[in-house]
Amino acid sequence: MKPETAIIRIKNLRLRTFIGIKDDEIQNRQDVIINVVIHYCAAQARNSDNVEDALNYRTITKKIIELIEHNRFSLLENLTSQALAIASEHEWVEFASVEIDKPHALRFADSVSMELCYQK
């Protein structure tokens, strides 16, 4: 990793959405937990203290919230892929990963999760 690389971590963003293929999943919102990691070159922001020189994690988070809360998904893979597209859309992003947990998806497990990554 280059010394000018900054790592943004959005941890445990808790939202509710329609996710799944069973009738009760289609009819009822479920909890999902989102974790995002974004690497970008922050050389300008480190030296300027100007918000325009930094990647705005609040804007990214708002877009992910909008996506998840206002759509329906059959597959965790598709939901994760769309969230990753938002996390990696800015031209400065060099690497991004999104992991989405679906708590209580399996009887004897805390959750099932899907993680996808992007690398420039």
If pLDDT is split at 50, 70 and 90, which confidence band does 118 have? very high
Res. 2: pLDDT tops 80: no
Residues 6+ apart with CB under 8 A from 65: 13, 15
Mean pLDDT across the chain, nearest whole number?
A: 94
Whole-structure pTM value: 0.92
The percent of residues above 90 in pLDDT, for the chain, comes to: 80
Instruction: List pLDDT tens digits, range 41-92.
Output: 998 888 888 888 899 999 999 999 999 999 999 999 999 999 999 999 999 9
Pairing of strands 93-103, 111-119: antiparallel
H/E segment holding residue 116: strand 111-119
